[in-house]
Structure 1
């Protein structure tokens, strides 16, 4: 008999969408896959050079549990530049991707019975890891406010059991970027109510004018003592498969994470660590800047095509590399003509009728949304979104 906790959560909804797309392709169908949370790109030259050099040096031994001290120092320097505050290597834990950083945060902060506020729609891993830690996710609906939580809604949800607030900006799946004032209000709320902030900024490298990403500890330095920052190199450098992320926070929290990580994964992959270290030490930003331009071009193309949708508003796509479609008008229309649909129906229809794989909002706690990745090549994106637009418009 399996442990009871295995019944409390399901496999990732985004992973399930990728699996469905892969299965359709295996059946011989011509599918355009808009499910992946990654950018299709070649390796950054600096990362490749660092990895090859590490292999040639026969670097195959354990590092410190929290990663190479040189890498932790380099990440601290990066954070210092981004936040305009000094960071030290002792405040950094290198992890096997952002998921492990989030898992470490949940396990280090959440006691059984604790509640954690999670704005919805949410990345599917947030509530799953809270549940694994024995806590209860409390969802805060944001659709009515441009997918940004209202302070009044957050405040109303706080109880004596509330332990933390998850803040994910730029947001996955919606692409919303939290305004500076919102971050300041959340920070003050956390201070006043003695709550932790889990700040996920994995998509911070991709913001689209006039919107700006604000690190929360820059907005509210006084909240730093109760903030854990989660980030990775997966998105900014298109390195999803390399699994290198980091957690930054107070030394006491990082010390607890070290003890936890020593009994789970131990140190992250040593070659990936050296590769990212070489990239950070090189100071070469050419690859990342080109990647940002490529993403911006894909966004512009996608928004132009999606503007032809009739019952689905054009998504804001303020940051990251997702279009998040609001299906509420389409759902009202289909209900009136006697064939109401939810997000799962739409996703299945797009896969079958248009040959386009997308992710249902039900994976993110939202039965009225669909997520589309525009991190693919422009030709495929153009074809996929035109098929999608034509199919959705036929459902009027």
Structure 2
């Protein structure tokens, strides 16, 4: 017998898509996988050096539940520089990736029945964790406003039960970036209605010109005492498998997180902590700049190929490293001819006919979208997108 809460959520849709891609590949078919939210690259040398040095020193003991104090001080300095606001170590919790930071946030601020506004399409983990915490996700459509919610729509969705707003910029899956005006509007709404802001900026290192990523507390400093910043090094340092991230917020929240984390994972992996500390103290900007150039080159290549799509608009891909295809017009056209199909159908066709694994927008609350990661090898990306474009241009259902 399973607990009742297990029926409230499914396994991650992105993880399921990766599994489907691997299953197709094991059957002998050449599959190019565009599902993974990670960048193919080598480790930063300073990260590797920090990890090896810690191992050579026989580091193997517990740290503080919220992470080593030296690391939290280093992160506080980094966040202070990024936000132009002073932060201290006791406002930082080091976590096992951004997922744990989000889980901790949901568990310590939500009561059963509390509502959380989530712009859609959304990263699949947002609503799942809110449900686990006993909250209710309230979805705000964004397709008609270039995947950034309008203040009008957010205001309409607020009720007496609303407790928080999720802001994910650059957005996963759409790549949309909130400009200063949008962030200021969210912050003012949160202050007016006494709401928390859960600010996920895991893709903040990848904003593509002319777009710029802005931390919300730098745009609206008065909203700082109600903002929880979630970030990780999975994307900005290509460390997805290392599981190291952080939550920054008011001291009272971080204190509650410490108590919670002491009963879940305890401290994050100690070798990853030492590796990250060494990077923050000695690494410099060169590696991250190289990673940004790699992603920018992949984006340029991908947009060039996707510009040949005839029935699907070229994605804007303002930030992050995903192309998000909008199938809604194609679906409307098919419906006028008596045919209907979903994003799931398109993803299956791309896998079987083009040998390209993608993620259906249904995983993100959108039955008319498809997400493609362009963090892979450029030659494979070129091959995959040419196959995908040819298949979509010949699409009939």
1:12 is displaced (CA, Å) by 0.3
Question: Which residue of 2 is the match for residue 278 of structure 1?
Answer: 278
- Distance in 2 (CA, whole Å) between partners of 1:219 and 1:294 is 29
- Distance in 2 (CA, whole Å) between partners of 1:43 and 1:374 is 18
Question: Which residue of 2 is the match for residue 102 of structure 1?
Answer: 102
| 2:267 matches 1:267 | yes
1:338 is displaced (CA, Å) by 3.1
Question: Which residue of 2 is the match for residue 20 of structure 1?
Answer: 20
Q: Any gaps of 5 or more consecutive residues in structure 1?
A: none
- Distance in 1 (CA, whole Å) between partners of 2:291 and 2:339 is 42
1:285 is displaced (CA, Å) by 1.3
- Distance in 1 (CA, whole Å) between partners of 2:15 and 2:41 is 20
Do the aligned residues in 2 keep the contact of 1:97 with 1:232 (CA within 8 Å)? yes
Question: Which residue of 1 is the match for residue 372 of structure 2?
Answer: 372
Any idea what the Cα deviations from partners look like across 1:197-224, whole Å, max 9, x if unmatched?
Answer: 0000000000100000000000000000
Question: Which residue of 1 is the match for residue 163 of structure 2?
Answer: 163
Q: Any gaps of 5 or more consecutive residues in structure 2?
A: none
- Distance in 1 (CA, whole Å) between partners of 2:153 and 2:335 is 29
Do the aligned residues in 2 keep the contact of 1:120 with 1:140 (CA within 8 Å)? yes
* Structure 2 counterparts to residues 52-71 of structure 1, below 5 A: 52-71=52-71
1:336 is displaced (CA, Å) by 2.8
| 2:303 matches 1:303 | yes
* Structure 2 counterparts to residues 65-84 of structure 1, below 5 A: 65-84=65-84
Do the aligned residues in 2 keep the contact of 1:168 with 1:200 (CA within 8 Å)? yes
- Distance in 1 (CA, whole Å) between partners of 2:244 and 2:386 is 35
* Structure 2 counterparts to residues 65-214 of structure 1, below 5 A: 65-214=65-214
Question: Which residue of 2 is the match for residue 389 of structure 1?
Answer: 389
| 2:222 matches 1:225 | no
Do the aligned residues in 1 keep the contact of 2:175 with 2:320 (CA within 8 Å)? yes
1:332 is displaced (CA, Å) by 1.6
Moved more, 134-143 or 326-335: 326-335
Do the aligned residues in 1 keep the contact of 2:208 with 2:296 (CA within 8 Å)? yes
Q: Secondary structure at the match of 2:231?
A: strand
- Distance in 2 (CA, whole Å) between partners of 1:14 and 1:108 is 26
- Distance in 2 (CA, whole Å) between partners of 1:156 and 1:392 is 37
* Structure 2 counterparts to residues 32-47 of structure 1, below 5 A: 32-47=32-47
Any idea what the Cα deviations from partners look like across 1:30-86, whole Å, max 9, x if unmatched?
Answer: 000000000011111000000000000000000000000000000001001101111
- Distance in 1 (CA, whole Å) between partners of 2:198 and 2:281 is 28
1:28 is displaced (CA, Å) by 1.1
TM-score (norm 1): 0.99
- Distance in 1 (CA, whole Å) between partners of 2:203 and 2:354 is 29
- Distance in 2 (CA, whole Å) between partners of 1:395 and 1:323 is 19
Do the aligned residues in 2 keep the contact of 1:334 with 1:395 (CA within 8 Å)? no
1:283 is displaced (CA, Å) by 4.1
- Distance in 2 (CA, whole Å) between partners of 1:230 and 1:388 is 34
Do the aligned residues in 1 keep the contact of 2:46 with 2:283 (CA within 8 Å)? no
- Distance in 1 (CA, whole Å) between partners of 2:29 and 2:248 is 44
- Distance in 1 (CA, whole Å) between partners of 2:322 and 2:341 is 22
Question: Which residue of 2 is the match for residue 338 of structure 1?
Answer: 338
Q: Secondary structure at the match of 2:381?
A: helix
What value does the CA root-mean-square deviation take over the aligned residues?
Answer: 0.6
TM-score (norm 2): 0.99
- Distance in 2 (CA, whole Å) between partners of 1:225 and 1:339 is 51
Q: Secondary structure at the match of 1:274?
A: helix
1:339 is displaced (CA, Å) by 2.8
Do the aligned residues in 2 keep the contact of 1:173 with 1:371 (CA within 8 Å)? yes
- Distance in 2 (CA, whole Å) between partners of 1:340 and 1:302 is 28
- Displacement over 6 Å in runs of 4+: none
1:278 is displaced (CA, Å) by 0.1
1:147 is displaced (CA, Å) by 0.1
- Distance in 1 (CA, whole Å) between partners of 2:333 and 2:383 is 26
Any idea what the Cα deviations from partners look like across 1:153-175, whole Å, max 9, x if unmatched?
Answer: 00000111000000000000000
Do the aligned residues in 2 keep the contact of 1:343 with 1:362 (CA within 8 Å)? yes
